[in-house]
Amino acid sequence: MRRYPFERTTTMSNDTFERGKVRIDEKTGVPTTGHEWDGIEELNTPLPRWWVWTFWVTAIWGVLYCFVYPAWPTLSGGTQGLFGWNSRTEVAQEIGELQTTRAPILAKLNAASLSDIEANPELLAAARMVGSVAFVNNCAGCHGAGGQGAKGYANLNDDDWIWGGKLADIQTTIEHGARWDGDKATHSSAMPAFGRDGILTPQQISVVADHVRTYADLPNAPEPTAEGQKLYDENCAACHGADAKGNTELGAPNLVDAIWLYGSDKPAIVNRIVNGGGGVMPAWKDRLDDTTIKALTVYVHSLGGGQ
Amino acid sequence: MSQTTHHAPGGGLQKRIETNSILLVVAILILVSIGGIVEIVPLFYIKNTIEKVDGIRPYSPLELAGYNIYVREGCYTCHSQMIRPLRDEVERYGHYSLAAESMYDHPFQWGSKRNGPDLARVGGKYSNDWQRDHLRSPRSMVPTSIMPGYPFLAETPLNGAHLAEQMRMLRVVGVPYTDAQLENAAADLTAQSAPDDPGAAALRQRYPNVVINDIASKGGVTEEDALVAYLQHLGVSVDFKLYDDKANIR
């Protein structure tokens, strides 16, 4: 009869196997498990002691944890743990401690006027510290980490201010934002869409765009024209001023300097005249507390361009 | 094969279970279900799971479309929507997230990874224009960003054909859409896409705090418009000036 290699060749009876034929292995001195297959037996090497201890420690830890911390759901809620710990109480407590630590200096900031803060080195340093943190967290997305701005988002380092660069102006702008839907006191004036709404013809827009470029003496600017001047006086001067120096009350930018929020080439200016509108800034008075806004105001004012 | 059956040593109950596959399956099911019974079942009956807060409403159709895009593009793989009750997170992002704030998300977008910042309270933090610029080219806004750009969203018309069905489906699983909201899904979608749409007032009434989107493109509503509407709604529903932290300590 042919024997297949996987067939059992020992004479050990099934009965013997089930009870386990545990013996001491001669070579290693370790007991076997009693499992045997084709003459191959398994050593019952003990688990490393560190492993066994770790196992028991974690098991005991798990049981204790269930009593110490909130763990098990009950019919009406859950176990609260021996010490009543919970994360929401803890975070409230931690923030309370933080507020206590900061309270003295924040109270001083709160009590001082914006100009007093700037005049007092201690308060200025505190305001700049609070302000810089709030700035990177809330403002840097648009205005850049260093306040350098981006196309369409104002640079806060220069001395060109759309809504005014005095302390009070900056504070108002931070509190209420610009063209922000959810704030009634927001800076709301916006440039008309001269092209889209058909106030000016494309040809007129081209002429007035050329003309506007003459004010700042931009590269490749054409000569001023009488037609351009007339169009400017009739359509632009009301907000940007007869001298084109802008009006921070209306958020109308200065057109005679070298700072151009949306670009100074002709297509960029034509685009502004065609579509009008203006940048949107969120109102922060509901997101940040008053002291933080004061600190931010001083911080932004001290970036370099404050008036 | 007469003597080859392998039996576990020890005998008794363990041997019975290990040698009877049906019994083994039953035992496994019992063991596994303990986890479910302990961790999931109580959520259906204990009252303190979800805070009682005012202001949470179901998504408007445009926001819901944005939510779908958020899920489709896998935003949750890099952005969480879960401000944990830890001091540093509360300092940076604002009040920790409440369960109630995501109770109408199916599935919720808490996420577990923060390659990008947490988005639980990003609504209202930036202008719509910023969100658009940033989605199209993240590094034009944040030079150090590693987020991929999604410029194609601005060029992809929004397919809102199934939003009403989705809202109906969500109602089945517990999102309290009213009949009026379901009936006007298409109208509300349009109304939220145009500042001067005549349906804006009705939309605002059906969905308080809704941000009417200034749709940039003339070619109709795009996926970008929907995603921006969704982002602008994140975390703005609860007025934390009125919220009682202590009452919801648990």
pLDDT at B9 > cutoff 70:
no
Question: What number of H helices and E strands is found in chain B?
Answer: 12, 0
In terms of C-beta density within 10 A (0-12 exposed, 13-18 middle, 19 or more buried), how is residue A262 classed? middle
pLDDT of B92 reads 92
> A307 pLDDT band (50/70/90 cuts)?
confident
- The answer to whether the Cβ–Cβ distance between A91 and B86 falls below 8 Å is yes
| Residue B95 near chain A (CB below 8 Å) | no
DSSP A37: E
pLDDT of A11 reads 43
What mean pLDDT is reported for chain A?
A: 88
- The answer to whether the Cβ–Cβ distance between A94 and B11 falls below 8 Å is no
CA-to-CA dists, residue B235 to B63, B94, B200, B205, angstroms = 13, 10, 22, 19
pLDDT at B229 > cutoff 90:
yes
| Residue A152 near chain B (CB below 8 Å) | yes
> Which residues of chain B are within 8 Å of residue A182 when distances are taken between CB atoms?
124
CA distance A226 to chain B (A): 35
Of A89, A98, A150, the CB nearest to B140: A150
pLDDT > 70 fraction of chain B, expressed in percent and rounded: 93
**8 Å CB contact between A167 and A118:** yes
pLDDT at A2 > cutoff 60:
no
> A99 pLDDT band (50/70/90 cuts)?
very high
pLDDT of B198 reads 82
Mutate to test the interface with B, among A38, A94, A130, A138 (most CBs of B within 10 A): A94
CATH code for the structural domain at B61-248: 1.10.760.10
**8 Å CB contact between B231 and B224:** no
pLDDT at A15 > cutoff 70:
no
> B5 pLDDT band (50/70/90 cuts)?
very low
pLDDT at A210 > cutoff 70:
yes
> B215 pLDDT band (50/70/90 cuts)?
low
Mutate to test the interface with A, among B92, B237, B238, B250 (most CBs of A within 10 A): B250
* Average pLDDT estimate for A165-186: 92
> Which residues of chain A are within 8 Å of residue B45 when distances are taken between CB atoms?
75
* Average pLDDT estimate for A255-273: 92
Instruction: Give the model confidence (pLDDT) of B70-107 as tens digits.
Output: 999 999 999 999 999 999 999 999 999 999 999 999 99
**CA-based nearest residue to B62, from B188, B203, B169:** B188
| Residue B7 near chain A (CB below 8 Å) | yes
* Average pLDDT estimate for B37-55: 82
Supply the pTM of this predicted model. Answer: 0.84
pLDDT of A8 reads 43
> B46 pLDDT band (50/70/90 cuts)?
confident
Instruction: Give the model confidence (pLDDT) of B237-250 as tens digits.
Output: 998 888 887 777 76
pLDDT of A1 reads 41
Q: Which of 144-183 (B) contact A at CB < 8 A?
A: none
> A78 pLDDT band (50/70/90 cuts)?
confident
- The answer to whether the Cβ–Cβ distance between A281 and B127 falls below 8 Å is yes
* Average pLDDT estimate for B35-42: 85
Q: Which of A88-102, A196-210, B175-189, B206-220 has the lowest mean pLDDT?
A: B206-220
**CA-based nearest residue to A18, from B144, B7, B123:** B7
**CA-based nearest residue to A278, from A242, A246, A245, A233:** A246
